[in-house]
């Protein structure tokens, strides 16, 4: 079945935000965008979880979104992270992203204040109806403290420009119910679950690993699309150690920032309260990258 936002099928990379001496490094950000364009990535998602949006000021979020759109220059889709636990702030940032030229908005469920499901519905409805952008509902209860119920997502699908859902619940049942009841484009929110989610109707992934291995993640998605499950399983098994380390060694984006530093593609700098990997975890990550073949053992 054709889904509502097929143009976002495949790989969307949850972009890191590079820092240098405590400030956003826009030169490095441009390099990251060019890297993804060269890799043939479908879309990039700045200012999300991996982009450390909780530690960016509101102005920095706007600046990163605007710069990413400028650097992309229409050569790759931009799905800007615009969520907030304050509906007014989410509205304002989503409108800004639309005015800046983003192609879609990734809107996380309201966090900390734990609204009831009616509040979830009205929050997303208000944001969606304020813009013409396709909206991707970002369901990640492990971060927000409360899930957006499947029934609420199905209800939100009645709104025309609610087009996608990033399912980071880890629940195959949730993905299956949404796929059966709507034409929303489902994107896996966990790299290690891309293949299983696509097997029940998801159309791709919003990926952390894609920051440094985009071609491989895209190859997995393409193999599923072509019906070559043997090839898809091969890519899944190859990618799994990277997917595991990005989530198990420390809180995202700590491991991916460390990996990018090891690969010479980022300073590795983060903002408090995020802290670098400890020595043991760094050694484990280095071993994984060497075994994967993206880092020299020297």
DSSP string, 54-90: GGS-HHHHHHHHHHHHHHHTTSSEEEEE---SSHHHH
pTM: 0.96
Across the chain, how many H-helices and E-strands are there? 12, 10
CA 16 – CA 29 distance, rounded (Å): 8
Residues with Cβ within 8 Å of 283's Cβ and at least 6 positions away in sequence, in order, are none
CATH fold group of domain 6-228:
TIM Barrel (3.20.20)
Residue pLDDT tens, the chain, 298 long: 699 999 999 999 999 999 999 999 999 999 999 999 999 999 999 999 999 999 999 999 999 999 999 999 999 999 999 999 999 999 999 999 999 999 999 999 999 999 999 999 999 999 999 999 999 999 999 999 999 999 999 999 999 999 999 999 999 999 999 999 999 999 999 999 999 999 999 999 999 999 999 999 999 999 999 999 999 999 999 999 999 999 999 999 999 999 999 999 999 999 999 999 999 999 999 999 999 999 998 7
Is 261 designated active site? no
Q: Give the pLDDT confidence score for residue 63 in this predicted structure.
A: 98
- The number of angstroms, rounded, from the C-alpha of 87 to the middle of its chain's C-alpha atoms is 21
Contact 163, 7 (CB under 8 A): no
Q: Give the pLDDT confidence score for residue 298 in this predicted structure.
A: 76
Q: Give the pLDDT confidence score for residue 293 in this predicted structure.
A: 95
> Where would I find the beta strands (DSSP E) of the chain?
10-14, 19-20, 23-24, 43-45, 77-81, 104-108, 135-139, 162-167, 185-188, 204-207
Q: Give the pLDDT confidence score for residue 15 in this predicted structure.
A: 98
Set 138, 177, 215, 238: catalytic member: 138
SS3 275: coil
What letter would DSSP give residue 253? Answer: T
Is 77 designated active site? no
Q: Give the pLDDT confidence score for residue 297 in this predicted structure.
A: 85
Q: Give the pLDDT confidence score for residue 129 in this predicted structure.
A: 97
Set 77, 121, 146, 166: catalytic member: 166
């Amino acid at each position: 079945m054709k889904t509502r936002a097929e143009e976002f099928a495949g790989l969307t990379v949850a972009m890191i935000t590079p820092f240098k001496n405590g400030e956003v490094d826009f030169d490095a950000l441009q390099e990251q965008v060019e890297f993804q364009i060269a890799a043939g990535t479908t879309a990039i998602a700045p200012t999300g979880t991996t982009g450390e949006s909780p530690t960016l000021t509101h102005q920095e979020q706007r600046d990163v979104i605007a710069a990413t759109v400028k650097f992309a220059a229409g050569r790759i889709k931009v799905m800007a992270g615009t969520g907030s636990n304050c509906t007014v702030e989410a509205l304002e940032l989503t409108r800004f992203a639309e005015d800046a030229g983003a192609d879609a908005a990734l809107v996380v469920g309201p966090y900390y204040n734990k609204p009831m499901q009616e509040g979830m519905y009205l929050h997303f409805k208000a944001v969606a109806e304020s813009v013409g952008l396709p909206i991707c509902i970002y369901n990640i209860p492990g971060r927000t403290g409360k899930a957006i119920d499947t029934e609420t997502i199905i209800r939100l699908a009645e709104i025309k420009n609610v087009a996608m859902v990033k399912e980071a619940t880890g629940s195959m049942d949730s993905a299956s119910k949404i796929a059966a009841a709507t034409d929303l484009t489902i994107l896996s929110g966990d790299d290690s679950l891309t293949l299983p989610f696509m097997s029940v109707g998801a159309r791709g992934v919003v990926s952390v690993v894609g920051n440094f291995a985009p071609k491989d993640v895209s190859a997995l998605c393409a193999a599923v699309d072509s019906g070559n499950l043997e090839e898809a399983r091969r890519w899944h098994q190859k990618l799994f150690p990277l997917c595991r380390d990005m989530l198990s060694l420390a809180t995202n984006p700590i491991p991916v920032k460390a990996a990018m530093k090891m690969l010479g593609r980022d300073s590795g700098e983060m903002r408090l309260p995020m802290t670098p990997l400890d020595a043991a975890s760094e050694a484990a990550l280095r071993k994984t990258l060497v075994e994967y073949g993206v880092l020299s053992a020297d």
